[in-house]
Amino acid sequence: MKYCLSKIEEAAPEVAVIDAALLLEAGWGSSLNEIWVVFVPEDEAVNRIMERDEISEEYARARIRSQMSNRDRINQANIAFCSSWAFDVTNAQVDRAWTELRQRLSRGRGQDLLSLHPD
């Protein structure tokens, strides 16, 4: 993560997106200015895992329960998206959040978002 953050600092983009499934579990959240998470209810997550990995419900539930809960993940997030609706609905949520982020940055209210927190 330190290497990734140093590369971002070198490039100095207005916004940098880090896609990391276990970012919060790894304790990297404190190094970032904003955290956006995606969640689905546990039953939906179990169904998706069972279909994708062709595993039993019991094993899928064990996998889900070994991870941080939705509630804990959402509590650490600045923005949370639920992806249990149709793709276009979820996509609209992301578009709205992205637009609001860009507006905050353009108004100068997001200046703290432009620099990464030091370790």
| pLDDT classification of 109: cutoffs 50, 70, 90 | low
Residue 12 Ramachandran class (φ > 0 left, ψ -120 to 50 alpha, else beta): left
Task: Render pLDDT for 60-99 as a digit per residue (tens, 0 to 9).
Answer: 999 999 999 999 999 999 999 999 989 999 999 999 999 9
Predicted confidence at residue 11, as pLDDT, reads: 87
Angle between helices 57-65 and 42-53 (to 10 degrees): 120
Task: Render pLDDT for 35-69 as a digit per residue (tens, 0 to 9).
Answer: 999 999 999 999 999 999 999 999 999 999 999 99
CA 63 to chain CA centroid, Å, is 19
Report DSSP letters for 11-74, one per residue. Answer: H--S------TTTTTTT-GGGSS--EEEE--HHHHHHHHHHHHT--HHHHHHHHHTSPPHHHHH
Residue 89 corresponds to which tokens in the numbers above? 């609905």
- On the question of pLDDT at 16 being above 70, the answer is yes
Q: Give the pTM.
A: 0.76
Predicted confidence at residue 107, as pLDDT, reads: 84
